[in-house]
A and B are shown apart, each in its own frame.
Chain A
């Protein structure tokens, strides 16, 4: 049976048409942002520079692609259509009449759909892992920088210990199928996922100590929601079966948080050491505020600029790490549509077919580029203030 092909021009048109929900969403969000630019503080200022607009645009593109993945992709990312093995871009699948826009890979799956679904994995794990790393780094970095002394020495030594590991070695040791039989990933997850709960509890406690009406509501909410997520993620015991994470994904998640929290720790520690010499910190100390109040409500808000920039860069870096994991076949399932795994599969066959390799590489590169551009223009804008 002969496979029919679309022309290159029609392939481009088809791809653009496939992304229609994304275009509409981007136009709506960007339009609204332009209109209310003045009221949106730092986010609004991003729209003053070309670099910022491009950065926001690329990030929104991938965000909406992940959200609308099931609408955009014409095929199931795991479905195999035997006839389409290594099909060239634009090959028409005869039964459904749909097109393999970017061709088929060596297992006859649609490269385009896999790229679209791959964004889901990256856009869930990378920001979430960065969020947890931020929590761990902030909760440990603030006291290390504020108190100094023994706490600082011990915590800095531990952070340097982790930073001295080449990332790849760390992953080869921490993300193996064998390690999931041991309690290590669950123990580490139990430790890391505790930090957000501690962070928010202390945050509300220090602020509303004298206002029990607010305090109990906020603390209660933190403990209930935190405990619920904690039970779901660490023990896989969510009573409502909503929050669930596969053991191998938990393993990756923990390894990525472990690898990137020392970096956050160092930055927070440095910023804290700098900010604690300011007058408003001295004023708070004279007022008799508790050390944790000063750390969380005086120092942390003033360190937010560099931290936001770092968070943006770090999401990009985490995306690269996830790609590395996929490229070495660590942790993620072999048929998983994430970009790193796709690059690994395609790069082995680069001599014969190049088309399965290009979409995931360009996707990964453009997403990280978008985040870096965003970070760069955020830095420029926050410097202007």
Chain B
């Protein structure tokens, strides 16, 4: 078990290295650097001045040197001030070193956000905690509802309840966040006036009034999927021999379902729920933009829109890490829950 986890962690590290390198390459494409230089300098700057800005801020060093610097395997060089000739900070608003130091992701320095004029860490981590709260609320709503729907549908396959719930879950998987968000806002905010169509005030304090719509919107897309997986798993378990045995020895239907079927039927949904995180991540971006909630997704969009290199790299690192770690947890957890599976 331990060697399996270690090997998976090794693959994970390699994947992250490859992915960050690809992201690094794509962000540092020539047109993107140009865009960054234009946004960071005054209006109507000449092409030479833009080039000078890029050289001066270290964007013209070798690709691998810069990747190594970001990673923390190469020393970060301070820039020389063209006026005085002395080494200065790359960006005045960050605590970049004035002497060459190893200061990259491995040392815990995520770099400098050019859009928000602060360090990436001070922007990214509050945003992550805000999104964490949103995610917790979503999971608290999504998991019980979807499991309940799945179990009720799969308990008696082919009945009217089953068919109704199945069609409902298919409908919910056909509703992406930007569709359900608009529909819910129209119904609950515009027509009924019950809820707030913006979660901007949720940063100060979360209330039922401003937080329900984002949570609902985010949960609805996942509910259908998890419910369908739970249903399939439940249907399979209900045809097993031991269920028939339990029924034949005279146990009531409800106790068969609760005591014998549920435990085995919930193994598959566990992996599905874990693998839902990457999907939730995309949903989070849409919902946070739609409801103006200042979290991780909002930061990602801002970083991408303004070509904020270090911030976008930080966001990619976090999202890739979340995807990979949930995959690992789902595999390990599956092996724990299902004694028939032995990992090698």
Residues of A within 8 A of B (CB): 51, 157, 160-161, 163-169, 172-174, 176-179, 181-182, 184, 316, 320, 323-324, 327-328, 340, 343-344, 346-347, 350-351, 354, 357-358, 361, 364-365, 368-369, 371-373, 376
Contact = CB atoms under 8 A, between A and B. Distances in A.
Contacts of A347: 178, 181-182, 185, 290
Contact of B23 (A173, A178, A184): A173
B303 to A, nearest CB: 9
A168 B30 contact: no
A174 B278 CA distance: 18
7 contacts: A169-B316, A182-B31, A343-B179, A354-B186, A368-B174, A368-B176, A376-B170
B183 A361 contact: yes
A358 B186 contact: yes
Given A165-B320, A184-B29, A365-B174, 19 more contacts: A163-B323, A164-B15, A165-B323, A166-B282, A166-B285, A169-B319, A173-B23, A182-B29, A328-B289, A328-B301, A343-B178, A350-B190, A357-B182, A361-B179, A371-B174, A372-B170, A372-B173, A373-B167, A373-B170
- A-B pairs with the 3 shortest C-beta distances? A178-B31, A369-B174, A172-B304
Nearest to A158: B18
Give the interface centre of A157, A164, A350, A357 by most chain B CB atoms within 10 Å.
A164
Interface string B183-197: 101100110000001
B175 interface: yes
Contact of B18 (A161, A178, A344, A371): A161
Interface in B151-176: 166-167, 170-171, 173-176
A176 B32 contact: yes
Interface of chain B: mostly helix, strand, loop or mixed:
helix
Contacts of B179: 323, 343, 361, 364-365
B35 interface: yes
B121 to A, nearest CB: 19
A173 B186 contact: no
Contacts of A350: 182, 185-186, 189-190, 197
B182 A164 contact: no
Contacts of A161: 15, 18-19, 22
Nearest to B322: A166
B172 to A, nearest CB: 10
B182 A361 contact: yes
A174 to B, nearest CB: 7
Interface string B1-33: 000000000010001001100110011011110
Contact of A164 (B181, B286, B320): B320
B50 interface: no
Interface in B288-344: 289-290, 297, 300-301, 304, 312, 315-316, 319-320, 323-324, 327
B262 interface: no
B281 interface: yes
A324 B30 contact: no
Interface residues of B, number: 51
B176 A320 contact: yes
Contacts of B178: 323-324, 327, 340, 343-344, 347, 361
Contacts of B278: 163-164, 166
A369 B172 CA distance: 9
B185 A164 contact: no
A358 B35 CA distance: 36
A160 B18 CA distance: 11
Nearest to A368: B174
B195 to A, nearest CB: 13
B328 to A, nearest CB: 11
B171 A178 contact: no
A372 B174 contact: yes
Interface string B257-299: 0000000000000000000001001100110011000000100
Contacts of A173: 23, 26-27, 304
A355 B170 CA distance: 26
Nearest to B187: A354
A320 B173 CA distance: 10
Nearest to A326: B178
Interface string B235-250: 0000000000000000
Give the interface centre of A166, A316, A368 by most chain B CB atoms within 10 Å.
A166
B31 A179 contact: yes
B32 A164 contact: no
Contacts of A327: 178, 286
Contacts of B190: 350-351, 354
Contacts of B315: 169
Nearest to B186: A354
A168 B300 contact: yes
A213 to B, nearest CB: 47
Given A316-B174, A358-B186, A368-B174, A164 B31 contact: no
Give the interface centre of B170, B174, B197, B312 by most chain A CB atoms within 10 Å.
B174
Interface in B14-64: 15, 18-19, 22-23, 26-27, 29-32, 34-35
B182 A343 contact: yes
Contacts of A364: 176, 179
Contacts of A346: 182
A376 B301 CA distance: 35
A354 B184 CA distance: 12
Contact of A324 (B175, B286, B304): B286
A160 B285 CA distance: 22
A323 B324 CA distance: 26
A288 B179 CA distance: 54
Nearest to B320: A164
B320 A369 contact: no
